[in-house]
Amino acid sequence: MALWGGRFSAETSGEVARYSESISFDRRLYRWDIEGSRAHVKMLAAAGIIPQETAEAIRAELLRIRDKIDAGDFKFDISLEDIHMHIESALIGVLGAEGARVHSGRSRNDQIALDLRLYLRDEIDLLIHGIRRFQKSLVGMAAEHPEVIMPGFTHLQHAQVVLFAHHLLAYVEMLDRDASRLADCRRRLNVMPLGSGALAGSTLPLDREMVRAELGFDAVTRNSMDSVADRDFAIEFVSALAVFAMHTSRLSEDLILWCSQEFDFIELDDAFCTGSSLMPQKKNPDVCELTRGKTARVFGSLTALLTLCKGLPLTYNRDLQEDKIAVFDACDTAEQILAVYPPMIDTMKLKEENMRRAASDPALMATDIAEQLVKMGVPFRTAHHRVGSFVKWCRERGRRLDETTLAEMRETIPEATEEFLGLFDPESSVAKRDLVGGTGFAQVAKQISFWQKALAGEA
């Protein structure tokens, strides 16, 4: 169907139609395309560009088309290429030539720029809500186990004792920044591009400000070429999702390690694990492993968008049709993560005794000894060297740090007192880290309370 005029003397070949169609994926934009078209038509009538009765008929028919698509009672055909052509063709099929007035003063170039911004605006709101729900699950698990002690790690080596709740709250902080990045992205993309035309604006007396207000944008775009040519708002959006996915992948790795026989700190509910096709005893944390894999997909979407845009001259180029595939896939992946992680965290079981046992290695308190020396006036590098020598002395003799006498400790730490022999208690080590941001019991309790209040009301 030659919907866009009489320039061509031959129909598009079937192979080209299949190669160039986007309706197979951009059909999901139908609600936002219709929303934008209804606002545009309302403005056209107000500006005297089309008759009021025509605008009313188009606006009403657009709602009927939306309802048909909602109900699955709308036929999609690759010969119509994209969602814009499908909706306009449906209008013309019912209203005849009057339906064709819908496209006055606009191009598919500024139309898709509008649709994508409308879509992402709503997606961001949903994603932020999902992130808040995710945070709430982590905070809830922390609140259930506020005094469980575990080893903290650097380089995947036992480092110092921390609270399990403190570990979870680290991810709550990361997720909060993820939500903040999405909110920042929403603010920047909430600018209305319609009225930019194909690239140069329009000779028609369009009231862009009216459309802006109708659709709830903060402003209109200032440059018509930039409006239709750039996709930095989509790149920024997928970039924010890539950081979010990276954070969930890191949490997944922690959970995978904690589930292993070597750690044995937690057990995930059976609903979030699978078995082996061969080994009957296996219980695999597949959700966590899939998240690591799906994170790669989000990274791929970001790379695809950056590569897609890097060599495009101004203004619109057909390459940009491919942007939606990357955006939609990143959206879908993030939504899947947010659907499965809160209930997985909610049902996670802790093996507190195993965690406490792992945190009882006195070597985890070596830094406490060094800091005790600092309190006594010993320069930290000197203290660090002496405690390191003490650790070496113990290991050469197959002794735990807390199995030495004061006299033996003084062989490498001459300043040691009786008090030093009591520095190997995990609870005491945690309690002494009572400064803002630390893992001390009181500080973590304050953080749990802070987040409970901040996330109150999140479903």
Q: Which of 180, 260, 276, 449 is catalytic?
A: 276
Farthest-apart Cα atoms in the chain, separation = 100
155 is catalytic: yes
- Whether residue 358 contacts residue 153, with contact meaning beta carbons closer than 8 Å, is answered with no
92 lies in the same domain as 181? no
Taking only the tens place, the pLDDT of each residue in 370-428 is 999 999 999 999 999 999 999 999 999 999 999 999 999 999 999 999 999 999 999 99
* E strand or H helix that includes residue 191: strand 191-192
Question: The domain containing residue 367 runs over which residues?
Answer: 361-454
* Residue 79: count of CB within 10 angstroms of its CB: 15
Average pLDDT over residues 48-77: 98
Angle between helix axes 286-310 and 232-259 (nearest 10 degrees) is 160
Q: Examine the pLDDT at 126 and tell me if it is beyond 80.
A: yes
Residues 329-354 pLDDT 10s: 999 999 999 999 999 999 999 999 99
Same domain, yes or no: 271 and 328: yes
150: left (phi over 0), alpha (psi -120 to 50) or beta: beta
**Cα R_g (the chain), whole angstroms:** 30
Same domain as 250, residue 374? no
Question: What CATH number is associated with residue 114?
Answer: 1.20.200.10
Tell me the pLDDT band of 42, cut-offs 50, 70 and 90: very high
Distance CA 216, CA 221 (A): 14
pLDDT of residue 43: 98
Task: Check which CATH number belongs to the domain holding 26 and give it.
Answer: 1.10.275.10
* C-alpha torsion 263→268→270→272, nearest 10: -120
Amino acid letter at 453?
A: K
Predicted local confidence at residue 299, as pLDDT: 98
Residues 88 and 134 grouped into a single domain: no
| Structural domains in the chain (count) | 3
User: What single-letter DSSP state applies at residue 284?
Assistant: B
Residues 91 and 126 in one domain: no
Whole-number Å distance between alpha carbons of 204 and 194 = 13
Q: Is residue 9 pLDDT above 80, yes or no?
A: no
Is residue 418 packed enough to be buried (19+ CB in 10 Å), middle (13-18) or exposed (0-12)?
exposed
Do the domain assignments include residue 383? yes
Shared domain check, 367 and 320: no
Report CA dihedral (150, 154, 159, 165) to the nearest 10 degrees. -30
Specify whether 244 is located in the same domain as 368.
no
Q: Has residue 1 been placed in a domain?
A: no
Q: Are residues 294 and 340 in the same domain?
A: yes
Residue 3: pLDDT above 70? no
Predicted structure pTM score: 0.94
What mean pLDDT is predicted for residues 138-167?
Answer: 97
How much is the mean pLDDT over the chain? 95
Report whether 25 contacts 325 (CB < 8 A).
yes
Phi first, then psi, for residue 147 (nearest 5°) are: -120, 15
Boundary (domain end) residue, out of 307, 323, 357? 357
Query: 52 with 170, same domain?
Result: no
> Among the options 9, 13, 155, 277, which is catalytic?
155
Residue 286's alpha-carbon distances to 137, 167, 268, 293, in angstroms, are 20, 22, 10, 10
